[in-house]
Structure 1
């Protein structure tokens, strides 16, 4: 997770995946430091059509506040972006469900446009799927992305394990010994 100014990252890049990328693992290359956003040597390009789907797990919880997407100043730039919150391992079979938020995009070859997700919806994100269904070419050209920047606040994940507790249904006399030394017993008739 970049705040667009630092190189801090909280994406789980090892488990980040991009579906329909022409070159394997090239989707990971677009999540780079803000200072490298205009380095066009590394990019991701869609393979058999214009669709790209990113599954981005985070190492904690994110309050997502902004997304920047740098593409070329041509028809390969994505024209629509759909965001899905906390739906790990999405595939193209899953993208038909209603997105948590959608954006109509503009060409942005310099990273000046920031798309703002709804704060209430994206306040506790541990996994983000970003789906680019089309570009400006009307399906005649592949989609190419050079940079994706995510802006937000990071907090450590609170992973609660299973706690094993034993509760007594009945008291066990052996667990509750009473000192009998000072007690007086009387027979009541």
Structure 2
């Protein structure tokens, strides 16, 4: 729903965050009589109407002292960004252009609400936490590069010289991985044999990937790479992950190239546990 929801007291804040679910929630912490807060107020209202796919909340630090303390607010205006009640980013100051850039950055990586029924309670789609600038894909086609498989549309990632791909995914903060989605076509080009490595100190090449022991090895069946497929990971081995490297060794039909139509991870940010356990003293 477009518009800014004003939080009247501390008890309203968490229910509003819960209602936002996986949608981006932008929370403005303000204070009566604060000049910069007053200056940016019209722009914040306008942004709430411009980006109705996000939830916009306003919290007065005097009316909601507990919420302000829990979120360590030391200056106003401060804008906090949440998904699934997890704080993912912040922005300070009254620069409307900078604030909108931050909102657009997070909405570009919006997994949408359609995935909620596929994700176990307590976990979330980690696409918003993927740092695209830190990602790398070796042997990707010039026409069908890695970023294509991060979008739910007709585009796709395809290998170039042969069927193998070496994909490194960087996260913007440490995460715990529960499962992943690695979708491909049913024409034989879908990925089959996968080796997964985590937190490598440097990029590896194909020769290293072939000979190195992975964190987990997978043999994917046709059902795993369908649109409704979910690939379980050994959760205990993926508890503090900054980066993941996927070595796609082969595809299902021994085809010349491999295609990946969509790719994401399911899990939680590591910081989520600490935030949920926080109690104001």
User: What TM-score do you get using the length of structure 1 for normalisation?
Assistant: 0.71
Match of 1:105 in 2: 220
- Structure 2 unaligned residues grouped into runs of 5+: 1-108, 117-124, 272-281
Deviations 1:135-154 (A, max 9, x none): 0222x420011101210101
Match of 2:33 in 1: none
Q: Counterparts of 1:43 and 1:141 in 2: how far apart (Å)?
A: 16
Q: Would you say the 8 A contact 1:17–1:25 is kept in 2? A: no
Greater share of helix: 2
Deviations 1:27-57 (A, max 9, x none): 122123xxx2xx2x21111111100111111
Match of 2:206 in 1: 92
Distance 1:20 1:13, change over 3 A: same
Distance 1:133 1:7, change over 3 A: closer
Aligned length: 149
2:163 to 43, 50, 53: 50
Q: Would you say the 8 A contact 2:156–2:260 is kept in 1? A: yes
**Equivalence map 1:139-158=2 (5 Å):** 140-155=255-270
Deviations 1:70-105 (A, max 9, x none): 100111011111110111422213202011101111
Match of 1:135 in 2: 251
SS at match of 2:233: coil
Match of 2:193 in 1: 80
Q: Does 1:9 align with 2:128?
A: yes
Match of 1:126 in 2: 242
Q: Does 1:115 align with 2:234?
A: no
Distance 1:52 1:8, change over 3 A: closer
Q: Would you say the 8 A contact 1:10–1:58 is kept in 2? A: yes
Deviation, structure 1 residue 10? 0.6
User: What TM-score do you get using the length of structure 2 for normalisation?
Assistant: 0.49
Q: Counterparts of 2:127 and 2:188 in 1: how far apart (Å)?
A: 31
Q: Would you say the 8 A contact 2:177–2:267 is kept in 1? A: yes
Q: Counterparts of 1:24 and 1:152 in 2: how far apart (Å)?
A: 31
Greater C-alpha Rg: 1
Deviations 1:103-159 (A, max 9, x none): 111225642121111111101100100111000222x42001110121010135xxx
Q: Counterparts of 2:257 and 2:268 in 1: how far apart (Å)?
A: 33
Q: Would you say the 8 A contact 1:74–1:107 is kept in 2? A: no
